[in-house]
Structure 1
């Protein structure tokens, strides 16, 4: 008989962020602080190994984490990889397998939820590429709406 056990928890925290915005500053400091305090944290620049299939490795890491922190920044939605991560994170949250925290870094939560400004521009590009009614785009919009509605931290500077 097949077992339907939950995935083994390997990481305390999975960090989801747009690298071009935040990799060397805010997220780098957050990652360092978490690790220095004994929090085993997945960050793609450190944990992905050469030869790993990126999409499979990222989705598995999300499933193997206890907590996910989504750092929403101005360009987060321009990356379909980030949107796939957000969708997977929110799917795991809905299943009760993951605690999710949102950080709004120089963006307003309503910009993420609705979407507005840079998020609207990015989603329009994705709709053009994948189709306005594509299941992929619908999943991403729902993930942004749900994650943008979470209580989180709003950081404008520093």
Structure 2
């Protein structure tokens, strides 16, 4: 796709060309930083959480706005991505936007494989076990049910995105 060619014909309504979703502690200073630099060097405007969120702003609302105001999304799935409820919530929001528009979502499987995400095995399985144990300890029945429903949404989102054509960077690949 040529630079700045929009997937959605109404591209002028978007503030960002790309929303970059990633687990900061896994890839911020390595792979994602290189990816961000490469995208910016192509002349595209990128939303990246540490670049675009103003001090004192509400993080969740800023992320939601960034997701909605982007004409495409790149999601970097690292080994610990699914351990972050923030990342999983972002993914659900991204898929909701994608399913209601004609915008591009590119998954990147960094040190993993799409089948790990699709089957929710390995690190993903461990992450969901952790989330489930945490949510099961909630004493309020309604809140616990809402949290368990959230987990179902996360599982559905991961399975859906793992079925998209993406890029795979296995262990040992320097990207």
Alignment of 1:135-150 (within 5 A): 135-150=149-164
Name the counterpart of 1:155: 169
- One of 99, 108, 119 as aligned partner of 1:103: 108
Distance 1:62 1:97, change over 3 A: farther
Name the counterpart of 2:69: 64
> For residues 5-32 of structure 1, what are the alpha-carbon distances to aligned partners after superposition, in whole Å with 9 as ceiling and x for unaligned?
xx93100000000011100111101111
Alignment of 1:5-154 (within 5 A): 8-131=13-136, 134-154=148-168
Give the whole-Å Cα distance in 2 for the aligned partners of 1:98 and 1:62.
11
| Cα-Cα RMSD | 1.7
- Segments of structure 1 that go 5 or more residues without pairing to the other structure are 1-6
How many residues end up aligned between the 2 structures? 153
* Shift in Å, 1:97: 4.9
Give the whole-Å Cα distance in 1 for the aligned partners of 2:13 and 2:66.
10
**TM-score using structure 1 length:** 0.92
> For residues 40-87 of structure 1, what are the alpha-carbon distances to aligned partners after superposition, in whole Å with 9 as ceiling and x for unaligned?
000001111101100111011000000000100100000000000111
Give the whole-Å Cα distance in 2 for the aligned partners of 1:145 and 1:75.
16
Cα pair 1:130 1:137 within 8 Å, conserved: no
**TM-score using structure 2 length:** 0.83
SS for the counterpart of 2:37 is: helix
Q: Deviating runs (4+, > 4 A) in structure 1?
A: none
SS for the counterpart of 2:56 is: coil
> For residues 70-121 of structure 1, what are the alpha-carbon distances to aligned partners after superposition, in whole Å with 9 as ceiling and x for unaligned?
1001000000000001111111111125310000001010111120000000
Q: Which has the higher strand share?
A: 1
